[in-house]
Structure 1
Amino acid sequence: MKKIKTIIFLFMIFAFLAACNGKNEEDHSEHQAEKNIYYTCSMDPQVKEDKPGKCPICHMDLTPMKKDNSASNEIALSDQQIKLGNISVRTISETESSLVENYTGVLAVDQERMKTISARAMGRIEKLYFKTEGDYIQKNQAVYQLYSEDIAIAKQDYFAAYQQLSMPGDFGKNAKSMLNAAKQKLLFYGLSNSLIESIKTNSKISPYTTFYSTYSGYVSEITATEGSYVMEGAAVIKLVNLNSLWLETQVNVNYAKSLKIGQSAKLSFADYPNNEITAKISFINPEINPDSRLLLIRMEVPNPNLLLKPGMQAVARLTQSNLKGVFIPIDAVIREENATYIWVEKSHGIFENVMVETGAESNGMIEIKSALDPAKKVVITGAYAINSEYKFRKGSDPMAGMDM
């Protein structure tokens, strides 16, 4: 009987110890479960608390969330989340593509076709034959009349030397050299040969001289007025030839790297929607605009029928054919203040972000210049959905803390 009591006592002790151990394990598992849960606000995901309560910002009830124990640059998504986020992936490889870019610019005067008619000597503008900007001046048309004592003296020297040519002896010989010297001076003042020859037959030398245009073009600026005094070399009228114009526009630096002088571009105009003109790149600015990171290029635009006008807006379409590179949709690239990156599928449902360097953009595609792991698939659609979920769970920029 004593033996039976002893056995019953030992059994009770064993049962008690087993119950305590089970309770400890249950308490431990509950504690572990609590460690994997945090509480956040759906309106303010930056709020994270260890226990239930109210959001300190909007005072809504905090929502329990399971902690994401994946790596700092990774996120795990369920099949349902992938479907709802319209997330799709694709293996990316180098392809040959043609990039087309449209740039807007304004037609301007070709500065190399601008000419200035200036005063050939100091004097007074006695008469202007053209007084309105936009007037067309043909070559050899009279432009202005100048009163100049310097030119009058040179005319008188030329006439006197001509009169002495018929004199005998040294007078005649010296007169010939004096005549040549006086003629060279008149040519320097801009007088034509025919006008100089006419001096020989005019006994009365006039201080007034009419000057003629040596160019054809439209008056773009009148800098002198009748009755005003001008210095030698001062501008009187400026002309511009509109048979060729300039179109200046600014292009993306990455795109401009492969542009070349002489490359063709197609131009279209809102004022003439049915006309398309071929222009050529004539200048690529070696300096980049530090604020916009854009590069100025200039195109020569033929305008033989003068249909196009300076100030007219144009769209230049630049095409680069047979470009080799890795291209993905622009929406697949996340651009933050400090970094540019994409999301790639590490394994099913596991996505990681990869910082990349981008290149040219065109037709909704962007060039990826960084080397990519060919074994991994790039997220083509839904990249922003992954990014939003990442920030909601981890409350930070995926590239935060990375050395750019």
Structure 2
Amino acid sequence: MKQLHKICFLIIGFIFVLGCNSKNEDKHETREFKESIYYTCSMDPQIKEDKPGKCPICHMDLTPAKKDNGAYNSISLSDQQIKLGNISTAFIGTSQQSQQGDYTGVLTVNPEGVKSISARAGGRIEKLYFKTEGDFIQKGQAIYQLYSEPIAIAKQDYVSAYSQLAMPGDFGKNAKTMVAAAKQKLLFYGLSNAQIEAVKKSKEVSPYTTFYSSYSGTISEITATEGSYVMEGAPIIKVANLNTLWLETQVNVNYAKSLRLGQTATISFVDFPSKSVQATISFINPEINPDTRLLLIQLEVANPGLLLKPGMQANVQVTQSNQKGIFVPIDAVVRDEKVTFIWVEKSHGVFENLKVTTGLESNGMIEITSTIDTNKKIVITGVYAVNSEYEFRKGKDPMAGMKM
């Protein structure tokens, strides 16, 4: 009888222990289930709560959603989500692309063709024959008239020396040296041979001298005024040769790496939509603009007939053929304020973000200059569907946990 009681007692104890374990397992499963879900609002997905309730923004009922417990920089998607998001992947390898860069620029005066007409001696500007910038000056046209005592004295010395040439003996011989010296001084002051010949024939030496242009061009600047006094060497008028203009534009520093001096570009103009010309790169600035990260380049543009004017806007098209590199569709790259990245397929339905650096961009493709594993597929369509789901689950911080 006692043996029977012991057996019954052991059976009851076993049932009690088994019941307790079952309850503990149920509690553990319930806790794991609760820890694996959170409550959010379908209208305001940024709201995430640990328990049911109302959305603090729109006051709708919060709905349960499953937490993604995978790696922070990865996300798992179901086949249905992949289909609805039109998400597709592909292997990307090294290829050759013809890259075309399109930029805008402005025509400017070529500084190499600018000439400055300066005062050859100190004096007063008695008359300016051109007073408007943009006027065209022909070679040999009168530019200004100068009242100058130094020039007047040099003229008088020349006339006096010339009058002594007919004197006999040493006076005549010395006069030849004096005439040559006086003429040289007048040439230094900018008088032409014809003007010097006119001086010795004149009965009275004039303190006024007219100066003529030595070249043709368009007036780009007038710095003197009638009645003003000028010092020797002071600029009076600047004349620009507009047969060749410069086109200044700024290009992305990544694109500029492959540009070279003498490279040809196609130029079209806003004011002449049907006109396009070929130009060559004549200057590449060695310094990058620290604010824009752009590089200034200048192209030399021929301007026969002077149809083009400084200040005109132009479009620059530079084509680089057969550029070798890793190119992906532009839509495959996500650009954030802090980082640029792509999505890589780790396994079926599992994607991770990968930080990249980019280079040339043209014709819907962009170059990846950083090292990537070409044995892995990257997301080429539906990228923003993947990214939106990632932000919905894990927040919008592309730097946190990102794979470098």
1:381 corresponds to: 381
Asked whether 1:100 is paired with 2:100, we answer: yes
By how many angstroms is 1:377 displaced?
Answer: 0.5
Question: Would the alpha carbon gap of residues 394 and 229 (structure 1) be closer, same or farther in structure 2, given more than 3 Å must change?
Answer: same
1:223 corresponds to: 223
SS at match of 1:166: coil
2:162 corresponds to: 162
Distance 2:6 2:194 in 1: 149
2:74 corresponds to: 74
After superposition, where does 1:127-166 map in structure 2 within 5 Å?
Answer: 127-166=127-166
Question: Would the alpha carbon gap of residues 287 and 403 (structure 1) be closer, same or farther in structure 2, given more than 3 Å must change?
Answer: farther
By how many angstroms is 1:152 displaced?
Answer: 0.8
Distance 2:316 2:160 in 1: 63
Q: Which string of whole-angstrom CA distances, capped at 9 and with x for unpartnered residues, describes residues 235-274 of structure 1?
A: 2222122111111111000000111111110011122222
2:199 corresponds to: 199
Distance 1:67 1:302 in 2: 65
Question: Would the alpha carbon gap of residues 3 and 147 (structure 1) be closer, same or farther in structure 2, given more than 3 Å must change?
Answer: closer
2:339 corresponds to: 339
By how many angstroms is 1:128 displaced?
Answer: 2.1
The one-letter code of the counterpart of 2:188 is: F
Structure 2 unaligned residues grouped into runs of 5+ = none
1:252 corresponds to: 252
1:54 corresponds to: 54
1:261 corresponds to: 261
Distance 1:182 1:402 in 2: 84
By how many angstroms is 1:76 displaced?
Answer: 0.4
Question: Would the alpha carbon gap of residues 233 and 403 (structure 1) be closer, same or farther in structure 2, given more than 3 Å must change?
Answer: farther
The one-letter code of the counterpart of 2:178 is: M
1:296 corresponds to: 296
Contact preservation (8 Å) 1:87, 1:382 = yes
Q: Which string of whole-angstrom CA distances, capped at 9 and with x for unpartnered residues, describes residues 130-165 of structure 1?
A: 223222211011111111111110011111111222
Distance 1:351 1:402 in 2: 12
By how many angstroms is 1:338 displaced?
Answer: 2.1
The one-letter code of the counterpart of 2:35 is: K
The CA RMSD measured in Å over matched residues stands at 2.3
Percent of aligned pairs sharing the same letter: 70
Q: Which string of whole-angstrom CA distances, capped at 9 and with x for unpartnered residues, describes residues 182-227 of structure 1?
A: 1111111000112112222223211111111001012222222333
Distance 1:226 1:28 in 2: 100
The one-letter code of the counterpart of 1:318 is: V
Distance 1:236 1:55 in 2: 77
How many corresponding residue pairs? 404
SS at match of 1:200: helix
1:308 corresponds to: 308
Distance 1:258 1:134 in 2: 38
Larger mean Cα displacement after TM superposition, 141-150 or 196-205: 196-205
Structure 1 unaligned residues grouped into runs of 5+ = none
By how many angstroms is 1:374 displaced?
Answer: 1.8
SS at match of 1:197: helix
What is the TM-score with the length of structure 2 in the denominator?
0.93
By how many angstroms is 1:281 displaced?
Answer: 0.7
By how many angstroms is 1:125 displaced?
Answer: 1.9
